[in-house]
Structure 1
Amino acid sequence: MNGASREALAAARERLDALTDSTSADATKLADELTAVTALLDREPGLRRVLTDPAQPGEAKAELVRRLIGAQVGTATVDLVSGMVRTRWSQPRDLVDALEELANVADLTAAQKSGALDDVEDELFRFGRIVSSNTELRAALTNRSAGAPAKVELLRRLLGGRAKPATERLVGRLVSAPRGRSLEAGLESLSRLAAERRDRMVAVVTSAVPLSDGQKQRLGAALTRLYGRRMHLNLDVDPEVVGGIRVQIGDEVINGSIADRLEDAARRMAS
């Protein structure tokens, strides 16, 4: 997103945070209801065009939202979506993308409140690694001819009792409605959202051998100093990695032999 849509999403995220900060707000229920609204607008292009038409008064669009979903979802969801259609969007599709993101954020907020957010981050990363290394599993979860219930049931058999409920819900939502994304891209996006809940970045660290606790601590501290934000390390082992260690943060890749190189880089930047 860019321009007006980015600003509209940021405002919606702030409203969602305000709602979920309340102890009475059920973040999981919000996630379910926002998912339902996402599905409605995803299959109704005419409706999303009306709701994002800058020529229409904001209050008229908000009233349309209340008439359409007011009897199906809670007041908090109606108020949140009404606020979103009052704002300006660069293109109609951005509204649907934003609603989907808010649903995912609500589930991650519920995990954070229950103290499970770290586990959910790790499970999303591990599941992504499993998918990328298992072509049969990936094919089953991305098969366009298979219905969403069958994919969700497959996930239930894979993750049921082995992963946090939020992880199951997030991945289930992704495979049920990929909306044009690859499974890997969707999982990566979910990992980024999970990291943002603690205002930290994600570094995917691939090393030739497992890192010691000391190396992990030094690497995390060095990356935090380099990027100016707390860093969550997703660790993977690949004996064929060149140079002993590979660190990927977004689109940036750092290759090195040991964490000391990053320590040196941090010291040079600070001096």
Structure 2
Amino acid sequence: MNGASRDALAAARESLTALTDNTSVDATQLADELAAVTGLLDREVRLRRVLADPSRSGESKAQLVGSVLGDQVGGPTVDLVSGMVRSRWSTSRDLVDAVEVLADSADLVAAERAGSLEETEDELFRFGRTVSSSPELRAALANPSASAEAKGQLLHTLLGGKARPATERLVTRLVSQPRGRSLEGGIESLSKLAAERRGRSVAIVTSAVPLSDQQKQRLGSVLASMYGRQMHLNLDVDPGVLGGITVRVGDEVINGSIADRLGEAERRMAG
């Protein structure tokens, strides 16, 4: 998102945080209801255009949200979406995307309350790697002719009882409502959202051999110093990696041997 939409999303996320700081708010129910609103706005093009129309007053759009959603979802969801439509959005599609981000974030709040946010983040990364290494699984989950129910059953077979509830919910929603995203791309976005919730950025580390605890600690410390923020390391092993290791942070890719890259990073820090 750019411009007005980026600012509007930031304000919406602050509103979600303020709302979910109240533990009486059911974060899982909130996630379900926001996901339902995402689906509604996806289907009803005219409605989302009206709600994102900058020529209409924010109050009139908030009243429309209340009349459309009031009998369908709880008060917290109505309040959140009403606040969102009072903001200015660059496109109506950005508004829908933002509601979806809040739905995913609410599920991560539920994971945080359960003390399983870190595990959820790791499980999302691992599942993404499983999908990438299995063309058959990817094809089954991305098959447009398969029903959402059938895909959900497949995911429950794979994740039920093995992954945290938030992980299964997030992946199931992604698969049932991809909204034009690839499966791998969607899972990566969810992993980043979980990392942001924990106040960290994600570094995807692929090495030819497993890293020792000392190497992981050192790499995490150096990356945190380089980027000025804490880094969560998502670790993967690929014997075919040239130079021994690849580190990807956002769009930046660092290649080379562990010793060489750490040495260069430390020299940069010293300079």
Fold agreement, TM-score > 0.5: yes
Which residue of structure 1 aligns with residue 166 of structure 2?
166
Which residue of structure 1 aligns with residue 101 of structure 2?
101
The alignment's C-alpha RMSD in Å is 1.0
Which residue of structure 1 aligns with residue 150 of structure 2?
150
Output the amino acid matched with 1:215.
Q
- 1 CA distance for matches of 2:15 and 2:264? 42
Whether the 8 Å CA contact 2:120–2:166 is kept in 1: the answer is yes
Q: Is the deviation greater in 211-220 or in 248-257? A: 248-257
Secondary structure in 2 matching 1:236: strand
Which residue of structure 2 aligns with residue 215 of structure 1?
215
Output the amino acid matched with 1:181.
R
Secondary structure in 2 matching 1:172: helix
Which residue of structure 2 aligns with residue 237 of structure 1?
237
Counterparts of residues 104-253 of structure 1 (less than 5 Å): 104-253=104-253
Structure 1 stretches of 4+ moved >3 Å: none
Which residue of structure 2 aligns with residue 29 of structure 1?
29
Change (3 A) 1:21 1:260: farther
Which residue of structure 1 aligns with residue 10 of structure 2?
10
Whether the 8 Å CA contact 1:246–1:255 is kept in 2: the answer is yes
- 1 CA distance for matches of 2:265 and 2:186? 32
Asked if 1:42 is matched to 2:71, the reply is no
Which residue of structure 2 aligns with residue 257 of structure 1?
257
Whether the 8 Å CA contact 2:51–2:85 is kept in 1: the answer is yes
Change (3 A) 1:220 1:156: same
- Deviation at residue 267 of structure 1 after TM alignment: 3.9
Secondary structure in 2 matching 1:146: coil
Q: Give the % identical residues.
A: 72
- Deviation at residue 164 of structure 1 after TM alignment: 0.2
Q: Is the deviation greater in 247-256 or in 42-51? A: 247-256
- Deviation at residue 22 of structure 1 after TM alignment: 1.0
Which residue of structure 2 aligns with residue 57 of structure 1?
57
Whether the 8 Å CA contact 2:142–2:183 is kept in 1: the answer is yes
- Deviation at residue 72 of structure 1 after TM alignment: 1.3
Whether the 8 Å CA contact 2:247–2:255 is kept in 1: the answer is yes
Output the amino acid matched with 2:109.
T
Whether the 8 Å CA contact 2:255–2:261 is kept in 1: the answer is no
- 1 CA distance for matches of 2:79 and 2:260? 51
- 1 CA distance for matches of 2:142 and 2:123? 19
Whether the 8 Å CA contact 1:5–1:94 is kept in 2: the answer is yes
Whether the 8 Å CA contact 2:62–2:85 is kept in 1: the answer is yes
Q: Deviations over 1:195-250 (max 9, x none)?
A: 00012111111111111110110011110000011000011111110001111111
Change (3 A) 1:104 1:259: farther
Secondary structure in 2 matching 1:203: strand
Q: Deviations over 1:47-99 (max 9, x none)?
A: 00011111111111111110111111111110100010111110111110000
Output the amino acid matched with 1:128.
G
- 1 CA distance for matches of 2:125 and 2:63? 41
Whether the 8 Å CA contact 1:225–1:266 is kept in 2: the answer is no
- Deviation at residue 259 of structure 1 after TM alignment: 4.8
Output the amino acid matched with 1:155.
L
- 2 CA distance for matches of 1:258 and 1:63? 57
TM-score normalised by length of structure 1: 0.98
TM-score normalised by length of structure 2: 0.98
Which residue of structure 1 aligns with residue 20 of structure 2?
20
- 2 CA distance for matches of 1:76 and 1:266? 48
Whether the 8 Å CA contact 1:108–1:117 is kept in 2: the answer is yes
